[in-house]
Structure 1
Amino acid sequence: MIKRLLVLALLPLSAQASADFAQQWPLQLQQADAGAYRVPLDAAVYQAAHWRDLRDVRVIDADGTPVASTVYAATTPLGGAVRTAPLQWFALPAGSAAGDDDLSVVVQRDAGGKVVSIRNSVAPRADAGGPDPIWLIDLGEETGKLRRLLVDWSDTTATLDLGYRLEGSDDLRGWQVLDPQVRLVQLRNQGNELRSNSIKVESGLRYLRLVPLQRSGAPQLLGLRGEFADAVEISDWQWQQLQAAAGGNGKDGYLYRLHGRFPVQRLDVVMPPNSAVSWTVSSRDQDRVRADDGEPAWQVLTSGWNAWNLSEAGKQQRSPPLETSGIVDDRQWRLQAEPGAIPAAAPVLRLGYRPGSIVFLAQGRAPYLLVAGSADEGKAQAALDPMLAALRARNGAQWQPAAASLGAMAQRAGDAAYQPAPEPRDWKNIVLWVVLVLGALAVTGFALSLMRSSRDKSGT
């Protein structure tokens, strides 16, 4: 009996069943003999994912063994040949950028939104001693294609080191800071020249403005040019439409829940016709918890965002979507209206994202499955970046892995995959205690056997 208990105690009790995934998709390969494949992710994959970094989105072979794979964010649009063209720009008084101003009251536009004139405009350079002007740029049909601003001074020999704040807007009302400080430098010394007259732009907003950080010092501006890349979109914007939870209101805030780890980068609000409201938008998630009450903490994404919906002559006109400052993958969202501007009905919150992809290597046996959804922390994803960079350098920047697509989704482990794994037990200590107890029982049994033997001898 003791031997049997000892054998049971020493069994490998620490063996754990490997974590499974909630959902699975068969992968359809467009090229059977490719070594690497790229699979676009659809909304169902983001809905199934548990972790922010999508570490639980993997590819497995026919034997259930994970293969080398890495999840990538939305691919940057492919750029065509870079071209340079002059920009339409206007000079504004320096005071017109104070606070959250509304330039639509001083800017005259045509029916297409093109800036045609500005009231109270100033010369390209103020009089000596006057403040430097603000430069307003209307990209027009080139919106979304600008990659760099080029500043041309009338005096190419002037010595200057100037700072500007780059801002962007879609409606000349609300402005976003795109770069809090850009430097424009033009220096000469003993025949050497240092010149920095370009500004990198990463925004799809139509209107830009350069606000001087110094009161004066800028020479006369000759013109502004733009470097454009006619981008070819690889993936279109996708949208998730959320309905407000029951019981919410504009005063305390409308609450929304996003089911999935979507990489949100645009916000939109659909309101009743003929309404305009300024909103504060916040988001939160369970992994961002306050220490005082244990509740998830809200982070404000934007405030004073004016959204509107106008019905005119049977046509609906709505405010443009708002770009976030980065990717937001929180699950809970809140809209709070400014006092006195609560809409007649709860608005629909639309969250825009560009779907990413997963790249995997054809290891093991086909067919392959994409799996997603697991509370298990899993292993680090494969480091495929060096290999892909080398292949693009060898085969051209436009090279991509072979295409693959998702088949019909099927349930794998379901909701059970989202349950955290139990805390691992310290089996070494447990086995040690079992061995000690069994040893004590063996000693006790041996002592009792000796005592019984002694009684038997004394009785004889």
Structure 2
Amino acid sequence: MNKQGLAARLSVALGLAVSLLAPVTLAQDLPEDFRTQAPLTLSGEGPWYRLELPMALHLAAQFADLRDARVFNAEGQPQAYALTLGRASQRENIQQTAVKWFPLRGPKDAPLDASGIRVQRSSTGTLVEVTAPAGAAPAEEQLRGWLLDASAIDAPLEKLQLNWSGDAEGFQRFSIEASDDLQHWQSWGEGQIARLSFADEQLEQRSISLPGERARYLRLLWLAPQQAPALTAAELFSSASDTLPAPMAWSAAMAPSSVKAGEYTWDLPLALPLERIKIGLPQANTLAPVQLYGRRDGKVQWQLLSRSLLYRLPQAGKESLQEQIELYGAPVQQLKLVVDQRGGGLGTEAPQLQVGLRATELVFLARGTPPYTLALGNTGAKAVNLPLSTLIPGYEPARLSTLGVATVAVAVSTPLEALAGPVAASGPDWKRLGLWAVLLLGVGLLVLMALSLLRAAPAKP
């Protein structure tokens, strides 16, 4: 047999072995391989669901990056999923504020800009009086518009809402100008209000959109001054954007594993990238300078993570509490708190510790029959999570909040032992034994084919 024929037969043998090994590889993720199992409750519209993982489940995992997380359906089939970290977000708050208004009067033939109007203000910036230009005879004056005092609003103005006396009907148009000093004015376009009555029906248009900019004063000048209505209310709607911090996952309170004079140590099940910790201060009037140390395991030296001041003190009739220490996300598995005893310590009882890290959401595509189960705790698991853009074709960040919601059907503070799934019945696992038998048969067949090919090869002269 020539070399080409021998190589071809070996290739066929290897291909057969790979095909025999494939079922074993694909069947490695089974629910019983995971130490912790938690049933999920679904709500909202699927088929995608997002689950914010409580800290109890982070602590039940074997890896900080959650590579051993799986979601199974009732048939034991793993579901496609993605992991995403919580991020800071923006929240828009719309506030409605009633403002004071003042009539702007002037001669009938005066320009519409009414630039000669004088204004007096108090030290707080509140408008207290508006007077007409000097030299104008009262008989020649008429109502030209209104001045609104928005000096108490420190936010972009989004909308203006007016109300006026009921005897003025029809359409009323006016220009809108803004100023911060009552001397220089910027045009904000035009507005229109309307009130129409017919029989027992009434139609009103009271709101005017504004450009979303800040201004201390608004000036409304009617384009037809003789029709300027008498205002009875003026309200401004402003928007303020708040930055919400990234959501955090917090553990239940944990007692220290070791207590010495002014020194407390806690052990976590695995190293986690902690961002904050809370130290319980049960006694009032506590003041404690502390040093926090951390390390990944007991074989390495302690590293200083933070120097902080913890306190629970009365201030201005209220209790001021500082019990948190911010960290920088370095993975730690052991924490040690050293308390400076010159501050009196933390009391007779050992302090309780809570650890926090940025919340993680698991998004999965529900397939097959419910109920669905989250499984964690497999030391041999490999990362199989997909990018979120792959899991959800055409994904956009705004879509995440519209997905269905999955929740763990246990309280976050439940001990980890209560999360564990039912223990499999004792006895041989025939399915797994069968897979191993197929594997061994494939390896044996490969060895026999290789020996046969070697025997068939022509001996060297």
TM-score range, shorter chain: 0.3 to 0.5
